[in-house]
Structure 1
Amino acid sequence: MGKNISKRSDDYSKWYNDLVVQADLAENSGVRGCMVIKPYGFAIWEKMQAALDKMFKDTGHQNAYFPLFIPKSYLSKEASHVEGFAKECAVVTHYRLKNAEDGSGIVVDPEAKLEEELIVRPTSETIIWDTYRKWIQSYRDLPLLINQWANVVRWEMRTRLFLRTAEFLWQEGHTAHATEEEAMKEAELMMNVYAQFAEEHMAMPVIKGTKTESERFAGAVETFCIEALMQDGKALQAGTSHFLGQNFAKAFDVKFATKEGKQAYVWATSWGVSTRLMGALIMTHSDDNGLVLPPKLAPIQVVIVPIYKGLEQLEAIAGHIAPLLAELRKKGISVKFDDRDTHKPGFKFNEYELKGVPVRLAIGKRDMDNGTYEVARRDTLTKEVVAADAVVDHIVSLLEAIQENIYKKALAHREAHITEVDDYDTFKDILKTKGGFVSAHWDGTAATEERIKQDTKATIRCIPMDAPGEQGSCVLTGRPSARRVLFAKAY
């Protein structure tokens, strides 16, 4: 199996696009800006979903589903929210088609115009808060902790598979609380859930922090985020959690009776991650040979490739490994025995390397005679011979080692690409030559933030939560600054 993948060092963007297509993750569709997620790519997304869904439910959240369509009037009820999404909205204006009278094909029936246009959801705050008005009457109904798995549409003009598409899959949590303190705790909790998922399942180190006012979600009072660093030195926002204050409660008149019998507006949060995480996963770990998947998210964790001559040898190998397959599956390890007789072993080795399968076993007649397996690991591309009676325990520990190793490798890359700077010339030089996160003082003004963005294309990715207070001078204006923030060019 020949790999038609560009080298990262030659063209990182093309390498990424080649890899998504060649590894059978996704492809462009007949609808401009929309993608088809193929079975192997969707299997990874399903593993992400399952892990996140359990974490949501473990923290008390329930799943529900809300309409795809939002009346246009709902969107205009929260001014900053509509301003943030207006340019990305797809609008439904008619509800019927008909055959053209001249026989030229199908046309929109002008008689079937909707009384009120419907927006294809870019996010669901408005339709959900209209619903919550009916669900919330008293303090006994709070907190209301709801999540939905859905698709959304944001009419992007420049699209890239997984990273930015007109339609994408995601989850969006929407919660209502009796107090400001409780809602803030919820928003921070969900940021921590996302960080735990990214690091423990995706093996992707992240920095937790808050967004500047200009980078916040439209309609939010505070936005918490996790930021990751890709191999090309660009940052990627991997998840956000928003404290919405009472903005949406007031816009949709969502009140509750307090314990004292008074009427009060609820406090709100929303939070979400999307199939953008697939892009993050690819760009954090993969190499010029293909995908490198963390074992916890790999659809196939172990593949066994038989080396044989003739059907008789293949049947002998199949019988020989049957107990091994059963034992691995009993331990919850997903294993595939590739007994296809239409492809040679070399093709299969290449294919599973490209698809990022963490562990590959090869076995032929000589291995059966010797009571051994050849075991290859994807992250280091190294091989070793392991005794058959020790192979199960070896695989279990190997999967753990691979998960840990690729996290440590990504962490080392990130740490090597956080650079503290104190003057603007160095700031610009680091962004141009080294990339990564640049830790610098900022005077706290939107004007300075915008000027740096115009000069360098770098934005403030986050104000790190664990960064110590440190008096200094703004890297651009020289004005006083109380702490450093992280700048980077970003996806």
Structure 2
Amino acid sequence: PLLTNQWANVVRWEMRTRMFLRTSEFLWQEGHTAHETREDALAETHRALEMYRACAEDDLALSVIAGEKPENERFPGAVETWSIEAMMQDGKALQAGTSHYLGTNFAHAAGIQYQDREGAQQYCHTTSWGVSTRLIGGVIMTHGDDDGLRVPPAIAPHQIVIIPMLRDAPEDAALIDYCEQVRATLATQTALGERVRVLLDTKPGKAAAKRWDWVRKGAPIIIEVGPRDMADGKLAVLRRDALWNTGNGKPAFTYPAREEFVAGAGELLEAIQQALYTEARERRDANITRGVSEWQAVIDHFEKGGKYPGWVEVEWSRPTGAALEKVVEQLKSAKLTIRNVPSGAPAASGPCIFTGEPAAERILIARAY
């Protein structure tokens, strides 16, 4: 096969922009591949989707649902379109990546051919797949809180930030030297398959102000070190994902010994990564309503289901033609869309919520960005 990877920027004149999600210019990564057979092209389509799922869940700590898009949501000209869908904190869906099997449609249009084993010219089976900077928006809306960003350690530029509590005093030099020793030792540790990324913040300013600057930026672990900590061989450690002490409402600092913290830093970063993913997954699962069997119940759910109604899973007969157009109009009137047919979902067993005919599969319905 011919496998092409592309990094590009795209300009489109959006009338109503939304930061990171729908912008006049965005950056994306996409792949374009050409194959001999349908089977090879479909395998590549699913390989790319799995690559995006793994990136979203393992690196970005987004909990996504992979599945095939219905006919009306396919990329124009595609035979099949597959997506990963993430739920934001407001319950809306975000399409986080797509992968398309294009059949030979684009090969015919663009004259993409290969010479087969008998020497004859044949049209290629092609695929296309991509993600964009809207993934940044997905990370912000999934993990952010009232205090700012919470960046998963796997993608954080600085996984640990060390802030010396400088006082414009002679002992500042010794404190900075001590913090540099801590930084250097931490940088030899590994987390999530890579060396730990540590920053020593010595820029001017009060330690408390710098701490909240890094809280807003989402650094996974923030360490403050004062003269007393240096004397005691301890560190004041703050986890960004567990910022507040529920008992007194103050920052939830812990005070481990320096050697103890350094030895466990990698495991702690991995625990933070897992905690953010688990939080996203549990929130998503808690906000998917299943067992809805009537269209009016879907309408009621989204109109009366509170500020954040989440998603609804229903069964449908996979209608086509005029019947599908009617379904699309029903959904459009309620400002809803079909997100995808979840891979691995239980088989449908009841009637289609739209047509009353025997259902063929389960689909997810949601409001979306």
In the superposition, the TM-score normalised over structure 1's length comes to 0.69
Moved more, 162-171 or 249-258: 249-258
8 Å CA contact retained: 2:317, 2:361? no
8 Å CA contact retained: 2:317, 2:358? yes
Give the Cα–Cα distance (whole angstroms) in 1 for the partners of residues 14 and 316 of structure 2. Answer: 31
2:300 aligns with one of 409, 429, 434: 429
The amino acid across from 2:133 in the alignment is T
Give the Cα–Cα distance (whole angstroms) in 2 for the partners of residues 308 and 167 of structure 1. Answer: 43
The structure carrying a bigger helix percent of its residues is 1
Q: What secondary structure does 1:187 align onto?
A: helix
1:464 aligns with 2:342: yes
Report the equivalent of 1:129: none
Report the equivalent of 1:78: none
Report the equivalent of 1:352: 214
1:176 aligns with 2:46: no
Q: What secondary structure does 1:398 align onto?
A: helix
8 Å CA contact retained: 2:164, 2:207? yes
Report the equivalent of 1:6: none
Give the Cα–Cα distance (whole angstroms) in 2 for the partners of residues 202 and 429 of structure 1. Answer: 33
1:188 aligns with 2:58: no
Q: What secondary structure does 2:14 align onto?
A: coil
Give the Cα–Cα distance (whole angstroms) in 2 for the partners of residues 309 and 167 of structure 1. Answer: 45
Give the Cα–Cα distance (whole angstroms) in 2 for the partners of residues 209 and 281 of structure 1. Answer: 21
Moved more, 249-258 or 363-372: 249-258
Q: What secondary structure does 2:56 align onto?
A: helix
Q: What secondary structure does 1:391 align onto?
A: helix
Give the Cα–Cα distance (whole angstroms) in 2 for the partners of residues 296 and 200 of structure 1. Answer: 8
Instruction: Tell me which of the two structures has the higher relative contact order, counting C-alpha pairs closer than 8 angstroms and 6 or more residues apart.
Output: 2
Structure 2 matches for 1:328-347, cutoff 5 A? 328-331=186-189, 332-341=195-204, 343-347=205-209
Q: Using the TM superposition, give the Cα deviation of residue 177 of structure 1 relative to its aligned residue in structure 2, in angstroms.
A: 0.4
1:417 aligns with one of 287, 303, 306: 287
Q: Using the TM superposition, give the Cα deviation of residue 372 of structure 1 relative to its aligned residue in structure 2, in angstroms.
A: 0.3
Report the equivalent of 1:212: 70
8 Å CA contact retained: 2:78, 2:102? yes
Q: What secondary structure does 2:255 align onto?
A: strand
Q: Which runs of 5+ in 2 are unaligned?
A: 190-194, 244-251
Report the equivalent of 2:83: 225
Give the Cα–Cα distance (whole angstroms) in 2 for the partners of residues 335 and 264 of structure 1. Answer: 54
Q: What secondary structure does 1:297 align onto?
A: coil
Give the Cα–Cα distance (whole angstroms) in 1 for the partners of residues 174 and 300 of structure 2. Answer: 62
8 Å CA contact retained: 1:448, 1:477? no
The amino acid across from 1:338 in the alignment is D
1:442 aligns with 2:316: yes
**% identical aligned pairs:** 47
8 Å CA contact retained: 1:458, 1:487? yes
Give the Cα–Cα distance (whole angstroms) in 2 for the partners of residues 406 and 449 of structure 1. Answer: 36
Q: What secondary structure does 1:236 align onto?
A: strand
8 Å CA contact retained: 1:376, 1:384? yes
1:452 aligns with one of 327, 330, 337: 330
Q: Using the TM superposition, give the Cα deviation of residue 417 of structure 1 relative to its aligned residue in structure 2, in angstroms.
A: 0.8
Q: What secondary structure does 1:384 align onto?
A: coil
1:287 aligns with 2:149: no
1:300 aligns with 2:174: no
Give the Cα–Cα distance (whole angstroms) in 2 for the partners of residues 393 and 281 of structure 1. Answer: 29
8 Å CA contact retained: 1:151, 1:167? yes
Counterparts in 2 of 1:326 and 1:447: CA distance versus 1, 3 Å: same
Q: Using the TM superposition, give the Cα deviation of residue 449 of structure 1 relative to its aligned residue in structure 2, in angstroms.
A: 2.8
Give the Cα–Cα distance (whole angstroms) in 2 for the partners of residues 243 and 204 of structure 1. Answer: 25
- 1:163-188 alpha-carbon deviations (Å, 9 max, x no partner): 00111000110000011100010001
- 1:308-335 alpha-carbon deviations (Å, 9 max, x no partner): 3224232111111222211222332221
2:179 aligns with one of 312, 321, 327: 321
Give the Cα–Cα distance (whole angstroms) in 2 for the partners of residues 316 and 350 of structure 1. Answer: 24
Q: Using the TM superposition, give the Cα deviation of residue 389 of structure 1 relative to its aligned residue in structure 2, in angstroms.
A: 1.5
8 Å CA contact retained: 1:178, 1:266? yes
Q: What secondary structure does 1:379 align onto?
A: helix
8 Å CA contact retained: 1:304, 1:336? yes
Q: Which runs of 5+ in 1 are unaligned?
A: 1-142
Q: What is the Cα-based RMSD across aligned positions, in Å?
A: 1.3
Give the Cα–Cα distance (whole angstroms) in 1 for the partners of residues 264 and 302 of structure 2. Answer: 43
Give the Cα–Cα distance (whole angstroms) in 2 for the partners of residues 361 and 440 of structure 1. Answer: 48
Report the equivalent of 2:249: none
Structure 2 matches for 1:141-152, cutoff 5 A? 143-152=1-10
Q: What secondary structure does 2:228 align onto?
A: helix
8 Å CA contact retained: 1:359, 1:378? yes
The amino acid across from 1:465 in the alignment is S
1:379 aligns with one of 219, 241, 247: 241
In the superposition, the TM-score normalised over structure 2's length comes to 0.92
- 1:174-219 alpha-carbon deviations (Å, 9 max, x no partner): 0000111000100011000000010000011110101111111122
Give the Cα–Cα distance (whole angstroms) in 2 for the partners of residues 363 and 405 of structure 1. Answer: 26
The amino acid across from 2:269 in the alignment is L
Structure 2 matches for 1:86-125, cutoff 5 A? none
Superposition misfits of 4+ residues, deviation over 3 angstroms: none
